[in-house]
């Protein structure tokens, strides 16, 4: 499916999805549909993608474009200017540098602290926590997780690293310097991404919800639903808290969204479809998509990589070309 056909198909699906929202509400005798069938950008992705394999969808031939927002709204001669919908900014990456990345690392979480990268990797029997030298991509310090644990998101609170696990419902707390385990927290449901905003933890579980947690006790405090133009955005994955916003990778894409944690609204789409060359992309398997976002506040730059990607990119996010 070429990109134009794909875009047309997605626009049709989005139109169909949005059109449903203007229908009258169901009568009381009509069963209420489950909340998660609300048409979303990701549900479009799922419809485009072929059925799941081993828990993950099969790859799509080209990655979906950001959602179109203009079509569902009234024509200009009918629109009330007060109802105009702000177009979500579209950003892309300006690549500042490329570094080697361990192509055996199933990257799940990434953060930057005082000159080093800290990376959590997944897969049963292969999950690790590592402190990575930026220039060489090699581990300065690395520990293996219990083979029964599948590593997921990673964040830093003061001098303690917190690493999530996928389905094991345990977060492991380590001393940042030594990687010595100091504590474990338990939680309900799956663990995907996590970040610390300086006051609270934010955690994803693959749905359209982010859970705010106490940074010391890990207790859940509240939840936000992430939406763009009223549509749920699900498959929220790796997170990075940056200057009062939350960046979230969208699982199975090379796209990041920026979220206002006060409202759950998406405030920017960051499209990173072109980081890898076609040849590098062709060398990757199903699900080996972007994963890993780290922010370096000293230089106001980001590091991004992906699962089994051969490279890690130092980037700045800039407006996409029209």
Q: Shortest approach of Ca ion to residue 64 CB, angstroms?
A: 23
Q: Shortest approach of Ca ion to residue 221 CB, angstroms?
A: 20
Angle at 206 between CA 204 and CA 207, to 5 degrees: 90
What is the bridge-based pairing of β-strands 220-225 and 231-232? Answer: unpaired
Specify the residue, 63 or 196, whose C-beta has the smaller distance to Ca ion. Answer: 196
Specify the residue, 6 or 252, whose C-beta has the smaller distance to Ca ion. Answer: 252
Q: How far is CA 194 from CA 74, 109, 215, 284, in A?
A: 39, 8, 11, 26
Kindly list the residues in this chain that would bind Ca ion in the complex (CB under 5 A): 110-111, 240, 293
Specify the residue, 231 or 247, whose C-beta has the smaller distance to Ca ion. Answer: 247
Q: How far apart are CA 68 and CA 47, in angstroms?
A: 17
Q: Shortest approach of Ca ion to residue 194 CB, angstroms?
A: 8
Q: Shortest approach of Ca ion to residue 193 CB, angstroms?
A: 7
**Helix, strand, coil % over all residues of the chain, rounded to 5:** 10, 40, 45
Among positive and negative, which fits the CA dihedral 130, 238, 219, 215? Answer: positive
Helix (H, G, I), strand (E, B) or coil at 1: coil
Q: Shortest approach of Ca ion to residue 294 CB, angstroms?
A: 5
Q: How far apart are CA 266 and CA 247, in angstroms?
A: 9
Q: Shortest approach of Ca ion to residue 195 CB, angstroms?
A: 6
Q: Shortest approach of Ca ion to residue 152 CB, angstroms?
A: 11
In the bound state, the residue with its beta carbon closest to Ca ion is 240
How many Cα atoms sit within 13 Å of 34 on the Cβ side?
2
Provide the phi-psi class of 31: left if phi over 0, else alpha when psi is between -120 and 50, else beta: beta
Specify the residue, 10 or 154, whose C-beta has the smaller distance to Ca ion. Answer: 154
Give alpha helix (H) positions in the chain: 3-21, 41-48, 278-282
Specify the residue, 18 or 247, whose C-beta has the smaller distance to Ca ion. Answer: 247
Q: How far apart are CA 249 and CA 40, in angstroms?
A: 15
Specify the residue, 229 or 240, whose C-beta has the smaller distance to Ca ion. Answer: 240
Specify the residue, 11 or 139, whose C-beta has the smaller distance to Ca ion. Answer: 139
């Amino acid at each position: 499916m070429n990109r134009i056909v794909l875009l047309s198909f997605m626009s049709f699906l989005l139109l169909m999805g949005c059109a449903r929202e203007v229908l009258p509400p169901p009568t009381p005798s009509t069963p209420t549909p489950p909340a998660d069938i609300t048409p979303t950008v990701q549900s479009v992705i799922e419809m485009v993608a072929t059925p799941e394999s081993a828990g993950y969808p099969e790859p799509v031939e080209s990655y979906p474009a950001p959602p179109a927002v203009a079509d569902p709204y009234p024509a200009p001669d009918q629109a009330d200017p007060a109802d105009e919908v702000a177009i979500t900014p579209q950003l892309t990456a300006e690549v500042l540098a490329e570094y080697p990345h361990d192509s055996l690392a199933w990257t799940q979480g990434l953060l930057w602290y005082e000159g080093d990268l800290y990376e959590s990797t997944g897969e049963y029997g292969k999950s690790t926590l590592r402190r990575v030298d930026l220039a060489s991509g090699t581990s300065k310090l690395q520990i293996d997780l219990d083979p029964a644990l599948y590593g997921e998101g990673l964040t830093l609170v003061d001098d303690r690293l917190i690493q999530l696990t996928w389905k094991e419902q345990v977060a492991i707390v380590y001393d940042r310097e030594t990687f010595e385990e100091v504590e474990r927290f338990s939680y309900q449901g799956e663990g995907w991404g996590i970040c610390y905003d300086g006051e609270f933890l934010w955690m994803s579980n693959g749905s359209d919800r982010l859970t705010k947690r106490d940074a010391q006790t890990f207790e859940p405090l509240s939840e936000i639903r992430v939406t763009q133009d009223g549509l749920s955005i699900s498959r929220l994955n790796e997170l990075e808290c940056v200057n009062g916003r939350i960046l979230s990778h969208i699982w199975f894409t090379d796209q990041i969204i920026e979220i206002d944690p006060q409202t759950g609204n998406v405030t920017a789409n960051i499209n990173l479809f072109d980081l890898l060359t076609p040849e590098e992309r062709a060398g990757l398997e199903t699900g080996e998509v972007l994963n890993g976002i780290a922010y370096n506040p000293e230089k106001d730059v980001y590091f991004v990589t992906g699962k089994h990607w051969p490279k890690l990119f130092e980037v700045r996010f800039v407006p996409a070309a029209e």
